[in-house]
Amino acid sequence: MTMGVKPTSVLNQAINRPVIVSLKGTREYRGLLEGFDQHMNLVLKGAEEVVDSKAGKKTDLLIVRGDNIVFMSP
C-alpha cells in the first residue's frame, strides 16, 4: 500500500468481491465483502469457513467483528 492511501478506500474497492479474512485463533473465512464500518467490522455474503485450505461450514451472511481480524486479502 502506498503512502496516503486510506484503508477504507482499499475496502471500498473490495466491495462485492471475494475476500479471505483471517481471524485470531486460526479461523479463516472467505466470501463476498458486502460492507464494513469505521471499526472494520465486516459483512461477508456467502461465507464459508476454511479449514486446512478446504472449504468447510457455509453460511449465507457472516458479520466479523473488526477487533478479531488479523488480516484480510482480496
Q: Domains (ranges, CATH) in the chain? A: 7-73 (2.30.30.100)
Q: Is the pLDDT of residue 26 over 70?
A: yes
Mean local confidence (pLDDT), 54-71: 92
Mean local confidence (pLDDT), 39-68: 92
To which H or E segment does residue 22 belong? strand 18-23
Q: Is the pLDDT of residue 4 over 90?
A: no
Q: How far is CA 57 from CA 1, 13, 48, 62, 63, in A?
A: 32, 27, 6, 12, 15
Q: Is the pLDDT of residue 1 over 70?
A: no
Q: Tell me how crowded residue 49 is: count the other CB atoms within 10 A of its CB.
A: 17
